[in-house]
Structure 1
Amino acid sequence: MQIAEVELTYKTHVKSSLRPKITSSKDSYDVLLQSWDENKLEFVEQAKVLLLNRANRVLGICDLFTGGVAGTVIDPKLVFMAALKANASAIILAHNHPSCNVNPSATDITMTKRLKEVGNFLELPVLDHIIVTKEGYYSFADELGM
């Protein structure tokens, strides 16, 4: 019988002291905005996840999904697969609104609550969910205490 071998690795070429430290939603927004493809920010919805170590330094940013003009699907399995593979201690979810409306939809709120529950179960906290636009951002942690 033949089976596939699964190997989990994480490679970095950035010293820990040089990684951005997240201390606020503004820090998250600034890091995310730098990583976003400017040509897609106001074109299609995309979802990303910031992967953090125990000191809240950014291990990496994982591009998760690209959707259409009005939405994208976020698969919890892929969110947490990225976090587990990078051995992250916490994550920050992010997606953009091409309309530049920073207010979350009912779907955004429901999805955030669901992903926070999964994170709590895995002992891998979802610290925030940031809605990114060129003109500003919305932080679930700041606005809803999530």
Structure 2
Amino acid sequence: MKTAENKDWKTVSEIDLIYKTKIKSSERPLITSSRSAYALLRDCWDPDKIEFIEQFKVLLLSQSNKVLGIYEASSGGITGTVVDIRLLFAAALKANAVGLIITHNHPSGKTDPSQADRSITRKIREAGELLDIKLLDHLIVTPEKYYSFSDEGAL
């Protein structure tokens, strides 16, 4: 059996930890309620898609509930989208987030959560607990209204 000549395979790959930001904390939007989160999200949602395809986004928040960024976790079809929780938390960790507000739209205009909505909320909440990243809310948004899991006691 011939030994591999390149020994790089023995070295564990690593991630460099750095934190770069282009926005001062004082310039970041502050989330104080589900209403303020909805207002921010509604302004950031593509109006050509909110009633067309389902999208899943994440508000990444600092310790003081300032928005670090919005991560689009997935974009799907008319009736659903698939969220990879590992990618969601990779984005949260890279952004140095300590809190999350997850959100998705219902192109139908109805804001009632489905069983799949409840299931993904539970999974993300439980995964966040392991990483000390708190799930603060899950909003289902439409152009005219929203449903807040937190406000409704469903979180």
TM over 0.5: same fold? yes
Q: Secondary structure at the match of 2:20?
A: coil
Alignment RMSD (CA, Å): 1.3
2:78 to 46, 64, 69: 69
Q: How many residues align?
A: 146
The alignment status of 1:40 with 2:39, answered yes or no, reads no
Structure 1 runs not aligned, ≥5 long:
none
Bigger radius of gyration among the two: 2
The alignment status of 1:144 with 2:153, answered yes or no, reads yes
Shift of 1:8: 3.9
Q: Distance in 2 between matches of 1:58 and 1:12?
A: 12
Structure 2 runs not aligned, ≥5 long:
1-6
- Aligned equivalent of 1:54: 63
The alignment status of 1:28 with 2:14, answered yes or no, reads no
Contact 1:9-1:86 at 8 Å conserved across structures: no
Q: Distance in 2 between matches of 1:38 and 1:75?
A: 24
Q: Secondary structure at the match of 1:144?
A: coil
TM alignment of 1:94-113, pairs within 5 A: 94-113=103-122
Matched AA of 2:136: L
TM-score, normalisation: structure 2: 0.89
TM-score, normalisation: structure 1: 0.94
The alignment status of 1:88 with 2:91, answered yes or no, reads no
Q: Secondary structure at the match of 1:109?
A: helix
Seq. identity, %: 51
The alignment status of 1:134 with 2:143, answered yes or no, reads yes
